[in-house]
Structure 1
Amino acid sequence: MKRRPAILVLEDGRTFRGESYGAVGETFGEAVFNTGMTGYQETLTDPSYHRQVVVQTAPHIGNTGVNTEDDESDRIWVAGYVVRDPARIGSNWRATGELEQRLADEGVVGICGVDTRALTRHLRERGAMRVGISSVTTDAEELLERVRSAPAMVGADLSAEVTTDRPYVVQAEGEQRYVIAALDLGIKRNVPRRLAARGVTTHVLPASSTIEELLATGADAIFFSPGPGDPATAEHPVALAREVLRRRVPLFGICFGSQILGRALGFGTYKLGYGHRGINQPVLDRTTGKVEVTSHNHGFAVQVPGAGADGAVVPNQVIDTEFGGVEVSHVCLNDNVVEGLRALDVPAFTVQYHPEAAAGPRDADYLFDRFVELIEGARSRGADDSGEQHA
């Protein structure tokens, strides 16, 4: 594929020059970096990257081509793509095509041949910021003007742009044990797959769904999915989560879903300096005391009361909320960011990271077992309550 000169300009004026990669054109978004050494196809097709320009810190990208099995949605969602050294030819027995050709086919503008290490260090020091990539102009000042007029991620309400148009069902593998309703705020395909492996049928519904529509599926529990955007704008999902809590229906949320539950419980959210994105993030599970290597993709986090100046959460602290006591169940060991919440008086818990991996380690896969246990516990309590009423 013939390459053209390309330019990348950050909103603070820092400029990188390279060559076009993927589609020729111009694009704008929030510049973020991903530290994964593998899994670029899952990254590109993750809806949580909507309106973000992803910088890969691993220098060699495209080595294994692309295939029809590893996508986490039905399209590439990133606004742009930045790599240092793209593979000339992908080589893998599962490959069905080349990465650069797919980027071009889907109109994804990228740039290669830039110093991604220097770019990543800049973002770590200055924070995630708006960026533009162009292979139709090399005038940095001209592009900078358009970068600074592009919308910021703070205040962005994006779940409606990535959610499913209509409900669909992912059937349980083998005998069906439970049914859940998943609110699609940007769900990845591996979530219902991991649930299906545990005998759970998942009904995936649009982000605009009501509590009545969720429960009409016959759901034993509700799931709030990952997704893009600023959780401070997600008024409908927050109101929906509060209704789920009031009805004491078991609830599990991942990533954006964790931030939604945090807001529903009365906590605030805030934007991280440069976010957590990669498949090598250490998280402490306070329940077991184990440290997990986990997959992350979030630029916002939950702010709980009582956290120290460095963000450190008080050990064993129980926070009083409208729905009873809540504790921080997981913490990132890099920066003390809250990575999970557990309600003590209603059946609800969340994690900020990705137990479904795709791509990434499977240390946190047990959280789907915890979800099933939460459903089983709620069903047992319901049966006990019914028995007491009939006694």
Structure 2
Amino acid sequence: MNLIPALLVLADGTYYKGWSNNLSQTSIGEVVFNTGMTGYQEILTDPSYSGQIITFTYPEIGNTGINFEDTESKQVSVQGVITKCSSQKSYSWRQTTLWDNYLKKNNIISISSIDTRSLTKHLRSFGAMNGGISNEILNPRDLVDKVRQSPVMEGLDLIKENTTSVSFSWNNEFMTKWNYSCSKFPLSRKFLKVIVIDFGVKFNILRQLSFYGCSLIVVPATTSAHTICSYNPDGILLSNGPGDPSTASYAVQTIKDLLITDIPIFGICMGHQLLSKALNGLTFKLKFGHRGLNHPAGLLQKVEITSQNHGFAVDFDTSTESTELLQLTHFNLNDDTIAGLAHIEIPAFSVQYHPEASPGPHDSDYLFHYFVCLMKQRILYEN
């Protein structure tokens, strides 16, 4: 692998020198960090990372190569990659290509030999901020000027860039040899119709719903409630996605219209934030976000270890919605932000974290089962 000098500059003027792959380019985005020890391929292809440059705190990245079974979308969503050590060799019986080849094929610039511990501590102290990676501009003053001219994450609507342009049925079958769920539902018969509103959905959410007996129709984020209801769905899933939830007023209005139906609704990550806004909650930007595989979430001494990836959180303290109608089901036990809620009178619930994991622990898989139970209960009630 041919390495060339590169520069990482943050918006506050802090800079680091390192080495990059030989893509001649400059990339700017919000610099964030992920504390996971595994799953770098899933992270690269998670649409929720759109517009961001990922700092991997785990020092060795790329040593198991890349395969084409673990991707979470059809494209790499990140703006750039920061590592301590970018492995030039990889060893795995599942790999189909090398880490560096994969980055270059997808036109993603990386920078390695960075003190990622120092960078992470800086972001924790001063907050996630815009930054730039370049192997063309090696003068920090010149690069920081470009960084400061770029739009910040707060106020950006990135959903429209990551949602599907047309509705489609999800036909990809799950791989039973890798599936960890303990579902008792028949796997060959799809007996529940779920509409997935795509704000930047991960493939494993679709795989898990399929495993639990759901036939899926994925629709664009701008789809109206009338169109969604015309499919006569048994349930609606609000997917994960990137950007600032306060900019997606079109999605909030759609969810408000859906809430007056009796169709069960399940929100994940961005879906949780948009559902909360539809219930008159507020969202705010976290200082440096929650991104990793070991975040504790729970309530009343019941703890799940969860996979999380978000830079915004929900606030109901100043909400006009009566909290008597809402049950806060989970809190992030690191900082006490809201991590899950359910409406008492409406079959709607959501979580801030990723129950489908990929990567991450499987403690929260039961939420898909709960969603299925809500749909079956509605069907039984109507019949």
TM-score range, shorter chain: over 0.9
Q: Which moved more, 1:241-250 or 1:170-179?
A: 170-179
Q: Alpha-carbon deviation of 1:119?
A: 0.3
Q: Alpha-carbon deviation of 1:320?
A: 7.9
Conservation of the 8 A alpha-carbon contact between 2:88 and 2:100: no
Report what 1:58 is aligned to: 58
Q: How many residues align?
A: 369
Report what 1:237 is aligned to: 251
Report what 1:315 is aligned to: none
1:292 counterpart = 2:308:
no
Q: What residue identity is the alignment partner of 1:104? A: K
Deviations 1:246-289 (A, max 9, x none): 11211000000000011000010000000000111111145xx4
Report what 2:225 is aligned to: 211
Deviations 1:158-193 (A, max 9, x none): 101001122121259411221110000000000111
Cα pair distance change 1:22/1:242, threshold 3 Å: farther
Q: Take 2:136 and 2:233, find their aligned partners in 1: how far apart are those partners? A: 51
Deviations 1:24-54 (A, max 9, x none): 3100000000000000000000000000000
Conservation of the 8 A alpha-carbon contact between 2:296 and 2:333: yes
Q: What residue identity is the alignment partner of 1:91? A: Y
Q: What residue identity is the alignment partner of 1:217? A: Y
Report what 2:212 is aligned to: 198
Report what 1:78 is aligned to: 78
Q: Which runs of 4+ in 1 moved over 4 A?
A: none
RMSD: 1.5
Q: Take 2:341 and 2:289, find their aligned partners in 1: how far apart are those partners? A: 19
1:265 counterpart = 2:242:
no
Conservation of the 8 A alpha-carbon contact between 1:324 and 1:346: no
1:277 counterpart = 2:291:
yes
Q: Which residue of 239, 244, 248 corresponds with 2:262? A: 248
Q: Take 1:235 and 1:355, find their aligned partners in 2: how far apart are those partners? A: 25
Q: What residue identity is the alignment partner of 1:304? A: F
Report what 1:223 is aligned to: 237
Report what 1:313 is aligned to: none
Q: Alpha-carbon deviation of 1:301?
A: 0.5
1:181 counterpart = 2:186:
no
Q: Take 2:3 and 2:50, find their aligned partners in 1: how far apart are those partners? A: 25
Report what 1:143 is aligned to: 143
1:302 counterpart = 2:322:
no
Q: Take 1:176 and 1:88, find their aligned partners in 2: how far apart are those partners? A: 44
Instruction: State the SS of the aligned residue for 1:30.
Output: strand
Instruction: State the SS of the aligned residue for 2:325.
Output: strand
Q: Which moved more, 1:200-209 or 1:41-50?
A: 200-209
Conservation of the 8 A alpha-carbon contact between 2:233 and 2:263: no
Q: Alpha-carbon deviation of 1:382?
A: 2.7
Instruction: State the SS of the aligned residue for 1:321.
Output: coil
Q: Alpha-carbon deviation of 1:98?
A: 0.5
Conservation of the 8 A alpha-carbon contact between 2:280 and 2:320: no
Instruction: State the SS of the aligned residue for 1:145.
Output: helix
Report what 2:335 is aligned to: 335
Q: Take 2:290 and 2:93, find their aligned partners in 1: how far apart are those partners? A: 31
Instruction: State the SS of the aligned residue for 1:169.
Output: strand
Q: Alpha-carbon deviation of 1:23?
A: 3.0
Identity of aligned residues (%): 41
Q: TM-score, normalized by length of structure 1?
A: 0.92
Any unmatched runs of 5+ in structure 2? Answer: 172-185
Instruction: State the SS of the aligned residue for 1:279.
Output: strand
Any unmatched runs of 5+ in structure 1? Answer: 307-318, 384-391
Deviations 1:58-92 (A, max 9, x none): 00000100011000000100011000111121110
